[in-house]
Amino acid sequence: MIGRPSTRKFIHIVNHNLLQNYPITESDIKNAEDILGPNLGLLKGKTVREKGEHMSKEHTTVPRSILEIHRDVTLCVDLMFVNTAPFLVTISRNLKFGTIEVLPNRKMTSILKGVKKVKDIYAKRGFRVTLGMMDNEFEHLRADFVNLGLELNVVANDKHVPEVERYIRTIKERTRSVYNMLPYKRMPARMLVEMVQASVFWLNTFPPSDGISDTMSPRLLIVGFNVDYAKHCKLEFGTYAQVHEDHDNSMATQTTGAIALRPTGNAQGGYYFMSLTTGRRLNRNHWTSSIAFTR
């Protein structure tokens, strides 16, 4: 009613009795903001883009002892399905670094493209993917693997690659745990995909019990840096937030409602969001969290 002043200005008005006979106190204003979050009208009308923080991204080098022993990587590969959506899942023996990528289809060209991406990730850190372990259904990819510089080892007809089978089971358990704590009755495919990818993100963040190090996580070995609680643990999957939108000097909103998906993993502590306006995935380093969902 009074033009949506900032919280600081609103408290000043109340404390100095600039609106006579106003029944609200400073503590009422602070309590309302703690419970309900910042005023939505203020966010949509006054939010400005914040300047990006300059970060020096220092990579941790792979210890020579690990690189010498584990330079040649065996990659266990399989397909996983979540609500009929196909995912390419890989995990390396010993290093225990996992990757997951949603596939547009089950065509072999899509699978090979995904495997090449994973091979390039390891190469950047000095590792060489030399052997691929897959189910018998991928036998006809042998020649294509040779073209990628990989040897393909296919297990027997009635067998599966145990490492990737266990890893898929773990991913599904983690994803199911998140899924069943959300208040939504239905969700877009984008949210489901990001939920699965978030599970893999966090699995890579901590050293596994059967890995090669008790202190260095798979992510630290292959990506080069780990996550930070202060930057990457700000929002839980499914949290509602207001994120900045590109705008001009018109009356168009300067923020949009969005659902937090997962950390991007960058040094600035950015997050992926799903826009409630367009349904697109947004990458933002700044946002304002509003009312979190009720468990």
Residue 287 lies in a domain: no
Residue 288 lies in a domain: no
Q: φ and ψ at 226, to 5 degrees? A: -100, 180
- CB proximity list for 251: less than 8 A, separation 6 or greater: none
Q: φ and ψ at 123, to 5 degrees? A: -60, -35
Residue 26 lies in a domain: no
Q: What is the pLDDT along the chain (295 residues), one digit of tens a residue?
A: 766 777 888 888 888 888 888 888 999 988 988 887 776 666 655 555 555 555 555 678 888 999 999 999 999 999 999 888 899 999 999 999 999 999 998 888 999 999 999 999 999 999 999 999 998 888 888 999 999 899 999 987 667 789 999 999 999 999 999 999 998 888 899 999 999 999 999 999 999 988 898 889 999 999 988 888 988 998 999 998 888 766 555 555 677 889 999 999 888 889 999 999 889 999 988 777 654 443 3
Residue 55 lies in a domain: no
103: CATH:
3.30.420.10
**Residue reference for tokens 């007809």:** 157
Residue 51 lies in a domain: no
Number of domains composing the chain: 1
Q: Which domain holds residue 118?
A: 64-180
* Torsion angle, alpha carbons of 114, 168, 196, 145, to 10: 0
